[in-house]
Structure 1
Amino acid sequence: MEAVPPRARVYVACVALGALLCLLPLPILRTPWWAVALLAVVYAGGEQLARRRFAGTFYPVLLAAAFLLPPAAAALVPLPGAVLARAEQRPEGLRRIWRAAQLTLAVWAAARVHWALGGRDAVVGSDFPYALVPAGAAVPVFCLVLTALDGGIRALAVGGPPAPSRQRGRGPVRRAWRGLFLRSLAPIGVHGLAGLMMAVLWRSPYGPVAALLVLLPMYVSWWVYAQSHQERAAHRATIRALVQAVDIKDGYTRGHSERVGQASMMIARELGMEDERVEVLRFAGILHDVGKLGVPTRLLRKDGPLTPEERRVIELHPEYGHEMVRGISFLGEARAAILHHHERLDGSGYPYGLMGSQIPECARVVAVADAFDAMTSTRSYRRARPVGAAVEELQRCAGAQFDPRMVAALVRALGRYGWHPAVTAEDESRVVPPAPPASERQEARR
């Protein structure tokens, strides 16, 4: 963000002042400056590498400093790396000051807790398992300080004048902290374990060189994670490109694909499917209409009624879609959902007229999600139905058109979480006539 609200600037200044106060009682004579300098250099280099290659943060060295050095000395370690790091957004200077102050406070707090619990003696004497106790207390404190400060800057960085309503603090401000600590604790805990190993080896006869070798397996694990992250990013880019192509060709259903993916994911989670399969079902919902790319645009945008021959052409879109994604291996069973999401339990669907359990489970999930969003979305010829009315229609058709198990799962998910699809400006501004022409009602069922 180019413009930082004044309240956020004041917040950064207060945090920076607190960080400076942490550095003041520095025990000059007793501080091993060579260790401070070495750890600071290693952190700065590791931070540059982590941000450039892995989009991560190099915490093990900071936690090792908290376990090895007096609090004020440990708080010096992150300063060079944070100040020299490249800021991804402007204003760069303010962001560097913020990062340096945040890390300084977090390291200082972790070191204070670690030393107060006798962690220094435990590390020097390699006293296991007691050394795990002060380290196990220091790591959550480190994480808590980081997430508390992060939540504060997120809440204050939301621009605009203060809202007069008392409910203002219950919205964006509360969401700024929600789940932040718990999401961060596990990865920082792994970094803390690596930092403790570094500290113990540092104080052992093997010395600092052996301690730095701990970073090698961390680097390898980060590299593996980065490769997986890049692969997932490529998957999302592939899907996004396909969906955008469909939306451009058939603006009538713009946004429909993402909402079907969301509803499919809700059903899959309610059914207790594993996370990997839930993700595949989301892909299936998003791509269920990709076969429309193979349908002539004049048919998708035709105003008048469709002839039987034209309807048969449109009903080929599941097969077109299946052919288009046949070679995309990461989609897995989503390919079957794309092919069979218009099948019906009573055998009256298409393209193959499958019945009951012959229809793949993933296709039965997407069929319910597709119909639900079609009914609850505003179209050019009619207003959206209320969620309750759409649910009643799904339940009425359960057993003949839809799988009752999938309908029940969607109903439970809606009762638990509600339905909050993204609404585009185009949807909000669309003019809706009071009644749909019969020809357009026919077209809507394609």
Structure 2
Amino acid sequence: MMGVEVIPRTARVYIGCALLAATAAVLPALRAGAATPWRTVLLLAVLYALCELPARCPLTGRDLNPLPLTAGSFFPVLIAAALLLPPSAAALAALPGALLARVDRPPGGPRRVWRAARLALGVWAAAHAARLFHCRAALGLGPDTPDFPYALLPASAAALALCLALTALDGGIRATVEQLPPKAAWRGLLGRSLAPHAVHGLAGLMMGVLWRSPYGPVAALFVLLPMYISCWVFAQYHRERAAHQATIRALVQAVDLKDRYTRGHSERVGRASVLIARELGMAEERLEVVRFAGILHDVGKLGVPTRVLRKDGPLTPEERRIIELHPEYGHEMVRGIGFLGEARTAILHHHERMDGSGYPYGLKGRQIPEYARVVAVADAFDAMTSTRSYSRARPVGTALAELARCAGTQFDPRMVDALGRALAREGWQSEVTADETAGPPPGPLPAPRTPPPAGAPAGTRNRTAEEHA
């Protein structure tokens, strides 16, 4: 969950508190005289550690375990521990694997500590939830025989408790590391976690039953095989998606280096495009594509001469025509990138206007692809609300009013309304996009940066949404 390399003090305090709570959770198992089933603890701890250990092949130097840590790849082992062991012992079994697993970003120490504390507390909560529903009797760990289908109840309770505990902890770390408001920090975490944890709960129940069967712990290993295969498939998808992100990141960085006036603009247009699309009720898979469209909408500027992009004075008609070719340049650049899908049409048509006076093809109304209409609004909105070295930001309300004024002629009114509703709920943080910072002015000034038309006074840069091209 921690996506930054410098962890804020509040996050370190949060991690420290989680560590203290995890220590308190495992201490009962370590006390002298505690009836801790050490054999089962050690076997489960070693099994989980081996699953998560990022071993390397001595010949190739490649990771033998390429699975992403955050996927919960081997949570069935932890749920089996919650069903088979007392709460403190179950929490103890999670620690070696959590401490040994791969860390992708520095600082490694705090991240390992956080992961270990998080998993220990989650498994401790899962074991307590399972005991509330008499899991030992249901699994036949005492004198009774296993009780099915009642055994599904403690297993489900354990999986739900693990899910709730990890969700609560993850939201807290997001709030402290990324400085998010509570509502934003926890949004979506539980919904994304419930289904995977339900599957892990069933697999953990199977492991627990087989573990105590006449065939012993070896039989329980067979439960992990289909889980490993499914997680390997997911890891392949994860790698492919990471390659997509790297491709997009490289293109955006190239644009930012070439046009210093729009640094950071692409990422924010992607974010605003997602706000609009989500408000319109687009499916989750389409949100990713519309984000790509927003991020890459100006990639065609790589084909525009730098002297034209950075010109301080008015543009000649010829230079204006060169600038207006950037959507077509961008479309050609990404034509062969299959995963972009409909995003390519947004790159080509995001400067079309509803009244048909835009470019490059003069499309009007619903002829303009939906993604392009989304990105057009997001692009103009961020241009007006960003502070740059040559102009200062308009307040969000002023920018929305300007978009509303141009709705129907330049912008799709549905997209403008959707952005307004999303911002009323989510808010928006205006940012500086050039190298130097500048504070907001006392009053609103137009801000979108596009080259001034031929004949405009030298130095003209601040423009309204209607003039944004």
1:129 aligns with 2:160: no
Quickly say closer, same or farther: Cα 1:21–1:259, change in 2 above 3 A.
Answer: same
Quickly say closer, same or farther: Cα 1:102–1:176, change in 2 above 3 A.
Answer: farther
Residue 306 of structure 1 deviates from its aligned partner by 1.0
2:237 corresponds to: 228
2:136 corresponds to: 120
1:78 aligns with 2:98: no
1:374 aligns with 2:387: no
2:355 corresponds to: 346
SS in 2 for 1:279: helix
Superposed counterparts of 1:135-214, under 5 Å: 135-146=155-166, 174=182, 178-179=186-187, 184-214=193-223
8 Å contact from structure 1 (residues 394, 407) kept in 2: yes
1:27 aligns with 2:44: no
8 Å contact from structure 1 (residues 380, 430) kept in 2: no
1:277 corresponds to: 286
Amino acid at match of 1:114: A
Cα deviation, 1:364-411, whole Å, max 9, x if unaligned, reads 111111122222223444322222222222222222222222222222
Which region of structure 1 is more displaced relative to structure 2, 219-228 or 370-379?
370-379
8 Å contact from structure 1 (residues 318, 340) kept in 2: yes
C-alpha RMSD over aligned residues: 3.5
8 Å contact from structure 1 (residues 122, 130) kept in 2: yes
1:164 corresponds to: none
2:251 corresponds to: 242
Cα deviation, 1:24-73, whole Å, max 9, x if unaligned, reads 35326xx4x54443323211211215995212253211211221234454
Quickly say closer, same or farther: Cα 1:353–1:199, change in 2 above 3 A.
Answer: same
Which region of structure 1 is more displaced relative to structure 2, 216-225 or 435-444?
435-444
1:41 aligns with 2:50: no
Quickly say closer, same or farther: Cα 1:42–1:253, change in 2 above 3 A.
Answer: same
8 Å contact from structure 1 (residues 22, 108) kept in 2: no
Cα deviation, 1:153-184, whole Å, max 9, x if unaligned, reads 777889xxxxxxxxxxxx76957973566654
**Percent of aligned pairs with the same residue?**
65
2:450 corresponds to: none
1:257 corresponds to: 266
Residue 130 of structure 1 deviates from its aligned partner by 0.7
1:55 corresponds to: 68
Structure 1 unaligned segments of length 5 or more: list them. 159-170
Cα deviation, 1:232-256, whole Å, max 9, x if unaligned, reads 1111111111111111111111122
1:165 corresponds to: none
Residue 98 of structure 1 deviates from its aligned partner by 6.1
Q: Aligned residues, how many? A: 431
More helix by share: 1
Which region of structure 1 is more displaced relative to structure 2, 419-428 or 298-307?
419-428
SS in 2 for 1:429: coil
SS in 1 for 2:53: helix
Cα deviation, 1:280-318, whole Å, max 9, x if unaligned, reads 111111111111110111111112211111111111111
- Partners of 2:153 and 2:147 lie apart in 1 by 11
Which region of structure 1 is more displaced relative to structure 2, 226-235 or 288-297?
226-235
Quickly say closer, same or farther: Cα 1:76–1:245, change in 2 above 3 A.
Answer: closer
TM-score by length of 1: 0.83
Which region of structure 1 is more displaced relative to structure 2, 140-149 or 428-437?
428-437
- Partners of 2:261 and 2:412 lie apart in 1 by 27
- Partners of 1:264 and 1:316 lie apart in 2 by 23
- Partners of 1:256 and 1:272 lie apart in 2 by 25
Q: 69, 72, 80: which is aligned to 1:64?
A: 80
Quickly say closer, same or farther: Cα 1:20–1:289, change in 2 above 3 A.
Answer: same
8 Å contact from structure 2 (residues 27, 88) kept in 1: no
8 Å contact from structure 1 (residues 344, 356) kept in 2: yes
8 Å contact from structure 1 (residues 379, 432) kept in 2: no
- Partners of 1:433 and 1:135 lie apart in 2 by 60
8 Å contact from structure 1 (residues 381, 433) kept in 2: no
- Partners of 2:8 and 2:321 lie apart in 1 by 57
8 Å contact from structure 1 (residues 378, 427) kept in 2: no
Structure 2 unaligned segments of length 5 or more: list them. 56-62, 447-455
8 Å contact from structure 1 (residues 22, 105) kept in 2: no
Q: 420, 433, 438: which is aligned to 2:457?
A: 438
- Partners of 2:113 and 2:295 lie apart in 1 by 42
8 Å contact from structure 2 (residues 54, 101) kept in 1: no
- Partners of 2:200 and 2:418 lie apart in 1 by 39
Quickly say closer, same or farther: Cα 1:433–1:298, change in 2 above 3 A.
Answer: farther
